Amino acid sequence: MKIHTTALSYATLVSVWLIVLLTIASEISAPLKAGLVSLTGHHWTSKGVVLVLAFFLTYFLLRKKEDASDIARFVRLVIASVVIGGLMIFGFLLYDFIGA
Amino acid sequence: MYLYLVLFLISNIMHTLVGLHAFLGEAGALAFLWVFIEVLNASSPSIKRAFRVASVGVVLLILAWIAGGWHYLTDYATAVKPVIKAGPTPWAHIVITETKEHIFLFIPFLAFFVWGLLHRYRDELMTNADARKAVLAISLLVVLLAFAMAGMGVIISSGFRAALESKLL
C-alpha cells in the first residue's frame, strides 16, 4: 500500500480545522453542543469520533486523485493551520473568560 | 471504613490515570524527537528506525489520548474541575484545560501524518530534501505541542493545588 500524500495532507488539514470549528462553534451554539453530547454522551468524545471519521473519509475520498507530491506547500499549510487554529482556540476561550 | 477504602482507590486511580496520560504523552513526544534526529542524519538504516519509532509514537499518543480522555471525562469532571472553578484561579480550567483538551486533538493526527510521510517516502528521504524537511518540521511540531501539553498540565495541577490550599489555609 502506497500512502497518498495529497490525500493525507488534506485529511490532516480537514481534521485541524474541524477541531477549531467544532470547538468554537460548540461554545457559541448550545444546540450544536447538545447535538454532540447526544452522539456519545459527551461533546469532547463526539468531537474525537467526528474527527477520526472526517480524517479517514477525506483520505479515502481523495486517494483516487492524482498525487501532486507538493509536500513542502502542504507542510507549510499544516504548520500555519496548527499555529493559527491553536491561537484561535486559546484566544476565543480567553476572550470568553475575560468577557464573562 | 469502606468509604475511606473507596475514596483511597478512587484517588489512586485518578493519580494513575494522570500519570499514565503524562507518561504516554511524553514518551510519544520523545519518540518523535527520536524520529527527528534519525531523519536529520538520514540513511537507509536510520529511516527504517525512524519508521519503527514513529509507529510506536503514534500508538503511544493514541493511548495518551484514551488515558487523558478517560481521566477528563470521569475523575477530572467530578473531582477536579469543580474545585478549580471554585478556587482562586478558575481560568486554569476555563481557559487552560479547555484549550489543552482541544489542541491535544491535533497531535495524534500530526503524528499519523509523519508516519504516513515516512511510509510514503522511505529511502527517498535521503535524496528528496522537501520530503525530509516535511518529516523534520512535523516531527518537531509534534514534540513542541506535546511539551506544551505538559506545561498546560502543570498549570492545571497548580490551579487545583491553589484551590485546595485556599480551603486548608
Reported ipTM: 0.95
Q: What whole-number percentage of chain A has pLDDT above 90?
A: 89
| Separation between Cα atoms, residue B72 and residue B58, nearest integer Å | 21
Going by the DSSP 8-state scheme, the letter that residue A72 receives in this structure is H
Question: How far is B117 from A4, CA to CA, in rounded Å?
Answer: 9
Give yes or no for residue B12 having a pLDDT over 70: no
Residues in chain B with CB shorter than 8 Å from the CB of A85 are 106
B-contacting residues in A 56-95 (Cβ below 8 Å):
71-72, 74-75, 78-79, 82, 85-86, 89-90, 93-94
Q: What is the structure's pLDDT at B5? A: 61
pLDDT digits (tens, 9 = 90+) for B137-151: 999 999 999 999 999
Average pLDDT of the residues of chain B: 92
Query: Distance between CA atoms of B93 and B83, rounded to whole angstroms?
Result: 10
The grid coordinates listed for A90 are 486559546
pLDDT digits (tens, 9 = 90+) for B43-87: 999 999 999 999 999 999 999 999 999 999 998 999 999 999 999
Instruction: Tell me the whole-structure pTM to 2 decimals.
Output: 0.92
- Asked if the Cβ–Cβ distance from A89 to B102 is below 8 Å, we say yes
Q: Report H helices in chain B.
A: 2-40, 44-71, 81-86, 91, 98-103, 106-121, 129-168
- Residues from B in contact with A at Cβ < 8 Å: 65, 69, 72-73, 91, 94-95, 98-99, 101-103, 105-106, 109-110, 112-113, 116-117, 119-120, 130-131, 133-134, 137-138, 141, 145
Tell me how far apart the alpha carbons of residues A48 and A66 are, in angstroms, rounded to a whole number: 29
A13 in B contact zone (CB under 8 Å): no
Is residue B9 predicted with pLDDT exceeding 70?
A: no
* The pLDDT value given to residue B7: 59
pLDDT on residue B33: 98
* pLDDT at residue A87, rounded to an integer: 98
Give ∠ CA B144-A42-B151 in degrees, rounded to 5: 20
- Nearest chain B alpha carbon to A40: B73
Question: Where does the pLDDT of residue A20 fall: very low under 50, low under 70, confident under 90, or very high at 90 and above?
Answer: very high
Rounded-to-10 torsion of CA B8, B11, B13, B16: -120
Mutation to test the B interface, candidates A1, A27, A55, A75, most B Cβ within 10 Å: A75
Q: Determine the Cα–Cα distance for residues B136 and B38; give it in Å rounded to an integer.
A: 9
Which has more pLDDT, B2 or A29? Answer: A29
Neighbours of A50 (CB within 10 A): 17
Q: Alpha-carbon distance B40 to B29, whole Å?
A: 16
Mean of pLDDT values over A22-35: 96
